[in-house]
Amino acid sequence: MTAVMRVLVTGAAGFLGSRLCESLLAGALGRVSTIVAVDTSACRLADPRVESRIGTIADADFVGAVVDDGVDIVFHLAAVLSGQSEAEFDAGMRVNVDGTRNLLEACRRLPRPRRFVFTSTVAVYGGPLPDVVPEDAPVRPETSYGSAKAVAEVLLTEYSRRGFVDGIACRLPTVAVRPGAPNSALSSFVSGIIREPLAGIESVCPVPLDTPLWICSPDVLTRNLLHAARLPTSELNGRRTVNLPGISVTPADMLDSLERCAGPAARARVRCEPDPAVMRIVCGWPGAFDASRALQLGFVADTDVDSIVRQFIARPR
């Protein structure tokens, strides 16, 4: 991709949004003059090229003010996560559906279609599924979060078909290991059973240790989102959604890795206490996907769980 003048990132103050902004500032897509960092709190990156805009994408007037004709690419990461979406239906729909529509409508008013990279989720799947889920498996979400993301995928496909945007929806695996405090995602424990023990804090695994999980590292996810921004969408052959690559692991695999990388004392800080409310949803999520299409399109995958744990240990926090 040639030089990029202006990039808009929603959810820019969050963990993944901040990482993406750091990569953009470092020149991952070419020269960036401005990042319009949109979130409900200020982006903390101290760089004169970052223009922090505080507000909610559920406010159509706010969105119309931040999506201007100078924007070249939109990365849409902002969302109400799975746990909060399940507990607060209206809040989830306002942000995850209406907010996405607000962004698409604002882009529609621009004189030419902009690349629109949307972070969706593998939670769009549900019901009986094979052990390895093909990308053409029926979308059948069983949570409010997955349902809202599925609706947003359809909107993105339609707005792309009409030429309003040039969109691609990236269905994310569970990202591990996230730094900081636990968030409202039902999968938050996946990071917690690594992050907390490494900090000397006890942690709880709320699902059986043999539960299959589809995960990827923050570094690989950031690389894949950047790749989605420069991928010629003609290569998608009209299928605007892509299941991003991950690796299939269990909590037991992760704890074995924790012990290999940090010793038995770290592993001993994790106890298993099944939580029926979490299990009801997380244990229904697919644990492995056929990522061959994504890999053919140039997306990348982590090599193994040890590399993911070591990546977290090595990164300054």
Residue 230's identity, in one-letter code, is R
Q: Using CA atoms, how far apart are residues 90 and 144, in angstroms rounded to an integer?
A: 10
Q: Using CA atoms, how far apart are residues 192 and 196, in angstroms rounded to an integer?
A: 5
How many CB atoms lie under 10 A from the CB of residue 280? 12
Q: Return phi, psi of residue 234, to 5°.
A: -60, -25
Show Cβ contacts of residue 141 under 8 Å, excluding neighbours closer than 6 positions. 123, 124, 125, 126, 147, 149, 150
> In the structure encoding, which two tokens stand for residue 68, read together?
């201007």
Q: Looking at the annotation, which residues are catalytic?
A: 145
Closest CA to 217 of 291, 120, 313, 302: 302
SS3 at position 247: strand
Show Cβ contacts of residue 214 under 8 Å, excluding neighbours closer than 6 positions. 122, 173, 174, 246, 247, 248, 285, 286, 287, 288, 289
Show Cβ contacts of residue 183 under 8 Å, excluding neighbours closer than 6 positions. 81
124-127 long-range contacts (CB < 8 A, ≥24 apart) are 124/149, 124/150, 124/153, 124/171, 125/285, 125/286, 126/284
